[in-house]
């Protein structure tokens, strides 16, 4: 357990996080569409190896392998009843590799739409996020990262559930796509609106990750928009390694570690102090960014 809060440290300097986990699981043999979270209990050696590689690359904050770890998301693999077990195990695995660093309990979208747009009642989704958050904290997470959110109602529910579970801090990170009218989520949400909803729900920090078509300059634009409406809030940024393209059966990310390291300064200049990567980034990307960011 880190003695100093990540939020406190990130007010004074850049903290480097890890990179993509889902894409690393696939490189380690997870079949497309397989249950990556199940590996926290069933193949812990492979998950630990990914965490260790990121820690050795210089990541000070490690995400848990729980992006799809809510009961509702796990139900698609018939593993909903394992939610508590898998999240607790995930946090313990990241804890084991983090050393003096931090563990961020990762909460991704539940994978559907809330009522009235969809068929999932808010109270059911909120209790699924709450259960996940509690298990992550029990397993040793220092705080929570709610990430890749695109809908404001789901974002707010997840943040509230994390705070209610007793998380020392909750970072709310949103996935924006490049559009003609600027960065917007798949649900049409602008950064300013996302920031307002996240802070209103109790988020301690704001972030941008994943999304489509945003280069580093696009992420920097999102960060500046956050800064305009929330000047004192800690900002996280975890870009993908470029925009994916499909090559045969494989999804390929083109941004090399060297290119990403050349451009990552834009994120720090725009005010991000918690920086890492999302899909397609690897331990080599994090190792290349480390000296640039001086983290
Ligand atoms: Zn991603």
Which residue from 90, 17, 85, 12 is spatially nearest to 274, judged by alpha carbons? 17
Tens digit of each residue's pLDDT (9 = 90 or more) over 240-252:
999 888 998 888 8
| 278 Cα: distance to centroid of ligand 1 (angstroms) | 4
Measuring CA to CA, which residue among 280, 225, 216 is closest to residue 247? 280
Residue with tokens 């704001």: 206
Can you count the helices (H) and strands (E) in the chain? 13, 10
Ligand 1 center to 148 CA (angstroms): 7
Strand 234-238 with 245-247, pairing:
unpaired
Q: How far is the CA of 246 from the centre of ligand 1 (A)?
A: 15
Alpha carbon of 209 to ligand 1 centroid (Å): 6
Kindly provide the b/e burial profile for residues 182-204, where b requires at least 16 CB atoms within 10 angstroms of the residue's own CB.
Answer: ebbbebebbbebbbebbbebbbb
Distance between Cα 212 and ligand 1 center (Å)? 9
Q: Report the separation in Å between the CA atom of 229 and the middle of ligand 1, taken as the mean of its atom positions.
A: 25
Q: How far does residue 55's CA lie from ligand 1's centre (Å)?
A: 19
**Cα 59 to averaged position of ligand 1 atoms, centre (Å):** 17
Distance (angstroms) between ligand 1 centre and the Cα of 280 equals 8
- pLDDT per 10-residue tile (average), the chain, 295 residues: 84 98 95 95 98 98 98 98 98 97 98 96 98 98 98 98 98 97 97 98 98 93 98 97 88 93 97 97 98 88
CA 279 – ligand 1 centroid, Å:
4
Alpha-carbon gap, residue 208 to 215, rounded angstroms? 12
- Answer positive or negative: Cα dihedral of 118, 32, 91, 241: negative
Question: What is the percent of the chain with per-residue pLDDT over 70, rounded to a whole number?
Answer: 99
Centroid of ligand 1 to alpha carbon of 277 (angstroms): 8
pLDDT at position 35 is 98
Helix/strand/coil for 62: strand
Q: What is the pTM of this model?
A: 0.97
pLDDT digit string (tens) for 107-147?
999 999 999 999 999 999 999 999 999 999 999 999 999 99
What's the CA-to-centroid distance between 239 and ligand 1, angstroms? Answer: 7
Kindly give the distance from the C-alpha atom of residue 21 to the centroid of ligand 1, in angstroms, as a whole number.
9
CA of 20 to the centre of ligand 1 (A): 7
């Amino acid at each position: 357990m880190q003695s100093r809060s990540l939020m406190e440290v990130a007010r004074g300097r850049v903290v480097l996080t890890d990179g993509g986990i889902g894409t690393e699981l696939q490189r380690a043999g997870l079949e497309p569409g397989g249950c990556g979270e199940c590996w926290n209990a069933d193949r812990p050696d492979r998950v630990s190896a990914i965490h260790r590689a990121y820690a050795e690359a210089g990541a000070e904050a490690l995400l848990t392998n729980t992006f799809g770890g809510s009961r509702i998301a796990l139900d698609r693999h018939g593993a909903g009843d394992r939610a508590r077990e898998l999240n607790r195990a995930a946090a313990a695995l990241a804890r084991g590799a983090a050393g003096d660093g931090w563990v961020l309990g990762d909460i991704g979208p539940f994978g559907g739409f809330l009522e009235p747009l969809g068929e999932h009642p808010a109270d059911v989704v909120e209790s699924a996020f709450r259960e996940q958050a509690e298990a992550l904290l029990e397993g040793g997470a220092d705080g929570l990262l709610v990430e890749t959110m695109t809908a404001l109602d789901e974002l707010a529910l997840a943040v509230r559930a994390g705070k209610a579970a007793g998380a020392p801090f909750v970072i709310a990170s949103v996935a924006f796509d490049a559009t003609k009218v600027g960065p917007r989520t798949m649900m049409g949400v602008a950064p300013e609106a996302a920031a307002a909803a996240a802070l209103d729900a109790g988020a301690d920090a704001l972030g941008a990750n994943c999304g489509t078509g945003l280069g580093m300059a696009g992420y920097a634009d999102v960060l500046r928009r956050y800064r305009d409406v929330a000047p004192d809030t800690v900002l996280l940024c975890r870009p993908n390694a470029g925009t994916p393209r499909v090559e045969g059966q494989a999804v390929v990310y083109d941004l090399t570690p060297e290119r990403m390291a050349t451009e990552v300064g834009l994120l720090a200049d725009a005010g991000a102090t918690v920086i890492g990567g999302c899909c397609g980034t690897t331990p080599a990307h994090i190792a290349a960014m480390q000296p640039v960011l001086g983290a």
